[in-house]
Structure 1
Amino acid sequence: LRLAKLPEYESLVLAFTSLVGWGYMFFFTMPFRFTGPFVIMIYKMLFNDVLRFCIIYTIFLTGFSQAFFILFNENGFGGFLSSIKQCFLCLLGEFDLDYYIEGQHPLPSVTLLIFHIVVITILLLNLLIAMMGDTYADVKKSARKLWHLERARMALEVENGMSSSERKSDVNKYWVDIQGERYLQVEDVTYALGYLKEDEADKESVVEEQTELMYKENTIWTAIFNADKVAIDELIHRDPNVVDTRGAVGECPIHMLFLYGTEAHLDIARDLLIRFPLIATQIYNKPNYYGENILHLAIVKREANMVDWLLSHASLEPYKHGLLAARATGDFFKIDQPSYYGETPLGFACCTNQWDMVEILLKHGADMDSVSKRQL
C-alpha cells in the first residue's frame, strides 16, 4: 500500500487482517473435544442458518424499503438508502413511530410498519432461533464423531506439510503401526464379550438418539410409540424392510412393541409376527443387550399369554427352538450384574420367580439341562 501511495488504507487492512488472524485460532481448537463441536456449531450456524436468514431477510428488506420509499415520496438513491436504514432499525427495535404518523399517508404507513415488525422481528428472527436450535441438537448428537473427524483432518493437514522422513520419525509419532500399515489412532477401546464396549459419553448419546427417534415424525419408531397400526401399515407398504430397522441399542420394531407391552402394542406385534414370521428370530445386536429376543422380553414383562402364543402359533413353529435356546449375553446381563437372569428364557423365568411361565416353557420343550455361564 505504501508502494502504491495508499498509506491511508493501512489501518483498514490491518484491522481486517487482525480479525482474520485471530479467527484462524478456531482451527487449532477443532481437535479438542471440549471446544471442537462448538466451533463446528458456529460454522454451521453462520454458513447455513444465518446465510439462509440473510437471503430471505434481504428480499423482505428490499420490498418494505421500496414501499416506504414510495409512501414518503423520497427522491433519488439517497432516499432509498434512507428507507433501507429505517427498515433495518426496525429489525433492532429502533424506530420512530412519529416519523410514520407524520407522513403523507399515516394509516398505510403505520399498518405497513406493524406488518413489517410482525414478519421480520417476530416471524423471521424466531425462525432463525429455531433453525439454530436444530443445528445445535444435530451437532451435539454427533459431537464425538465430529471431534474424531476434525482430529483426523488436522493430522492430515499437518502431515501434508511434512516430508516422508519426518512423518515416520518417532519424535513426531501420532500414529500406530498395525501389520506394517500406519493408522491414525483417535481413541483407545476395550473389548467385552467380543464386542466393543461403549464409554459413558456413548451411553448418553444413545439415550438421546433413542429419545429423538421416538419423537421424530413419520418413522416406524413414532408409529410404534403411539401404537398407530395404520401408520405402521403405511410405512411397511412403502418399504417392507422397515421391520428390520435397527435402533440406537440394536433393537428392532418388534422388540419395542414388546417393551411397551400394552394390549394395543401386543396386538400389533401378533399381526406383524403372522405377516413376517422371520422377525421372531431378531435379537438385539449391540453390546448392551446383545442376544435378547422377544421371548425374553415377554417373560420380563410377565406376559404369560403372549409367551404361550409365541410358542404355539403355527406360523412361528419353525422358529420355536431358536426362541427357547436364545441367550442374552450383553453387558446388561453380565454375570456380575443385578440383571443377570441366566441368559436363556427359562433362566429368565426362574430368576424372576415366574413358575407359571416355567411350566409354559417346559411344556413347549425348553431344555432343563441347559446351563449358563454360572452353571445355573
Structure 2
Amino acid sequence: LADISDVRRIGRQKWLNIYKAFPAKILYKISWVLILLAVPMRFLCRFGFDFVNVENYLVSYSVVLTTAHFLFYCRALKFIGPFVLMIYTIIATDLRRFILIYIIIMVGFSQSFYAIFYACEEGMRNGNHSTNITWVNIMDTPQESVIRTFIMTIGEFMIFYRSLNACPKPVIAFIGKGVFLVFELCVSILQLNLLIAMMTKTYEAISKTTNEYKRQWAKVILMLEVSLKPQDRLKYLMEYSVPTGTNKNLRSFQVSKKIDVRCYLD
C-alpha cells in the first residue's frame, strides 16, 4: 500500500526511474510478492503435496532476496560501499556482455557436438566401427548437448573426451577432437580471461573515486525520502540543513571537521 501511494504521488515513470538505480530494493519488493503468494499456498497444502513444494520454493527465494536488501544500506558505508557499487556495475555491464557472447558461442559449439555424437551413434547403429566396445551417446538430444557443453566450461570435460575418444568412427572422432580444441581455446581460456580483464577495469575505475561512498550515501538518503510525504520531507530537510547566506530559503548540508591543533604547533 505504501508503494502504491508513492506511485500515485510521484508518478509511475519517476518511481521506476528511482528504483532502477537500486537493484537490491527491487529484489526486496519482489520478496514481498513471493511472501504474499506463499500465504495461499500454505492454506492449499491440505489439498496436495505439490502446494507444499511450491510454498517451499517461494519462501526459499524470498529469504534470499530479502537478505540482498542489506546491500542497499551497505552502499552508504565507507569501507564497503564502493564494493557494492562494483558488484552492481559488473553485473549490469561486464557480466551482461560476457553472458551474451558466451551464450552465442556455447549454443553454436553444443549443436556442433550434437551433430558429431549423432554421427558416432549412427556408426554404432550400423555396425560401422572398428572396436567391440559398446558406445553410449552422452549428447542424445540438443538440450542435453547444451548442458554438457556448459559443464565443460567449468572444467569437467573428462567424461566428454573419453566418450569422444571411444567414438566408433575414427574420422568423426578426429573431427570432434579438433572442435573440442577450438572450444577450449575460445571459451575456457580466452573468454574467461576476457571477463576477468573487464571486471578488473571496472574495479580500478571505481576504486579511484575516493569519495564514492559519499555519493552513495546521498543517493540512499534521497531514496528513503521518496517514501515520505512532502510535509515530512520538508521537516527533515529543515533539521539537517543550515541556511546559506542571508536568504533563508537557500539551504545546504554542513559538515563539521575536527582539526588537530597539535599538528600545526609541531
TM-score (norm 1): 0.46
1:21 — aligned with what? Answer: 66
In structure 1, which of residues 84, 87, 94 is the aligned counterpart of residue 149 of structure 2? 87
More helix by share: 2
Secondary structure of 2:89's match? helix
In structure 2, which of residues 206, 212, 215 is the aligned counterpart of residue 149 of structure 1? 215
CA spacing shift, 1:186–1:160, aligned 2, 3 Å: farther
1:58 — aligned with what? Answer: 103
Rg larger in structure: 1
Return the offset for 1:39.
0.3
Secondary structure of 1:173's match? helix
Unpaired runs of 5+ residues, structure 2, are 1-39, 122-136, 259-263
Q: How far apart in 2 are the matches of 1:102 and 1:90?
A: 18
Q: How far apart in 2 are the matches of 1:149 and 1:113?
A: 48
Q: How far apart in 1 are the matches of 2:164 and 2:140?
A: 18
In structure 1, which of residues 153, 164, 180 is the aligned counterpart of residue 248 of structure 2? 180
Give percent identity, aligned residues only: 25
1:98 — aligned with what? Answer: 162
1:228 — aligned with what? Answer: none
Q: CA contact under 8 A between 2:114 and 2:140: conserved in structure 1?
A: no
C-alpha deviations, 1:330-367, integer Å up to 9, x for none? xxxxxx9xxxxxxxxxxxxxxxxxxxxxxxxxxxxxxx
- Please list, as runs of the form range in 1=range in 2, the aligned pairs for 1:190-269 lying within 5 A after superposition: none
CA spacing shift, 1:110–1:184, aligned 2, 3 Å: farther
In structure 1, which of residues 83, 87, 110 is the aligned counterpart of residue 177 of structure 2? 110
Q: How far apart in 2 are the matches of 1:27 and 1:13?
A: 22
Secondary structure of 2:242's match? strand
Return the offset for 1:137.
0.7
C-alpha deviations, 1:265-307, integer Å up to 9, x for none? xxxxxxxxxxxxxxxxxxxxxxxxxxxxxxxxxxxxxxxxxxx
Q: How far apart in 2 are the matches of 1:183 and 1:61?
A: 57
CA spacing shift, 1:156–1:64, aligned 2, 3 Å: same
Q: How far apart in 2 are the matches of 1:172 and 1:78?
A: 69
Q: How far apart in 1 are the matches of 2:230 and 2:149?
A: 59
Return the offset for 1:46.
1.0
Return the offset for 1:112.
0.9
CA spacing shift, 1:42–1:170, aligned 2, 3 Å: closer
Q: How far apart in 2 are the matches of 1:186 and 1:46?
A: 35
In the TM superposition, structure 1's runs of 4+ consecutive aligned residues that sit over 6 Å from their partners are none
CA spacing shift, 1:174–1:182, aligned 2, 3 Å: farther
Cα RMSD of the aligned pairs, angstroms, is 2.8
CA spacing shift, 1:94–1:171, aligned 2, 3 Å: same
Q: CA contact under 8 A between 2:75 and 2:217: conserved in structure 1?
A: yes
Return the offset for 1:20.
0.8
- Please list, as runs of the form range in 1=range in 2, the aligned pairs for 1:1-376 lying within 5 A after superposition: 1-2=40-41, 6-73=51-118, 79-96=141-158, 97-103=161-167, 104=169, 105-144=172-211, 146-169=212-235, 173-178=239-244, 179-181=247-249, 183=251, 185=253, 187-188=255-256
Secondary structure of 1:162's match? coil
Secondary structure of 2:243's match? strand
Return the offset for 1:172.
8.7
Q: CA contact under 8 A between 1:45 and 1:135: conserved in structure 2?
A: yes
Secondary structure of 1:181's match? strand
Secondary structure of 2:78's match? coil
Q: How far apart in 2 are the matches of 1:132 and 1:184?
A: 37
Return the offset for 1:90.
1.5
Q: How far apart in 1 are the matches of 2:53 and 2:252?
A: 49
Larger RCO (CA within 8 A; separation ≥ 6): 2
CA spacing shift, 1:86–1:186, aligned 2, 3 Å: farther
